[in-house]
């Protein structure tokens, strides 16, 4: 598991999300098209956010806040349809999203 996955798990425990929100036990495939054009697939639960599902990538989707206000985690769901990955949930049939920005080591370290 990457450091980002550990971070997201710890934040999830601190947020104490209601279990009803992620009650769906159905596992589905989420396809991410990365900024480089490469494709990555992860398994996720229906009902969890795309941002949380992205923590299973080698490098997850970039987020600039923790209160759904910055829109740094924008993904393209269909051509021209932008959505915040921290808000959009994985539907029962799975999802596909084009990622605009991933974390970089400079952002992790806090470099300008």
Find the radius of gyration of the CA atoms of the chain: 13
Q: Report pLDDT digits (tens) over 77-103.
A: 988 899 999 999 999 999 999 998 887
**Domain residues for 9?**
3-109
HSE of 34, CA atoms in CB hemisphere, 13 A: 14
Measured CA to CA, the distance from residue 60 to residue 57 in angstroms comes to 5
CA 68 to chain centre: 12
Instruction: State the total domains in the chain.
Output: 1
Domain with 55 in it: what CATH number? 3.10.20.30
Q: Report pLDDT digits (tens) over 56-80.
A: 998 888 888 877 888 889 999 988 8
């Amino acid at each position: 598991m990457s450091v980002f996955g550990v971070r997201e798990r710890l934040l999830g425990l601190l947020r104490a999300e209601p279990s009803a929100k992620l009650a769906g036990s159905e596992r589905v495939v989420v396809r991410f098209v990365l900024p480089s054009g490469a494709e990555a697939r992860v398994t996720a639960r229906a009902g969890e956010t795309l941002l949380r599902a992205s923590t299973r990538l080698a490098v997850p989707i970039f987020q600039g806040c923790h209160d759904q206000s910055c829109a740094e985690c924008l993904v393209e769901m269909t051509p021209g349809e932008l959505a915040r990955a921290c808000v959009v949930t994985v539907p029962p049939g799975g999802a596909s999203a084009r990622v605009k920005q991933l974390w970089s080591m400079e952002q992790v370290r806090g470099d300008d």
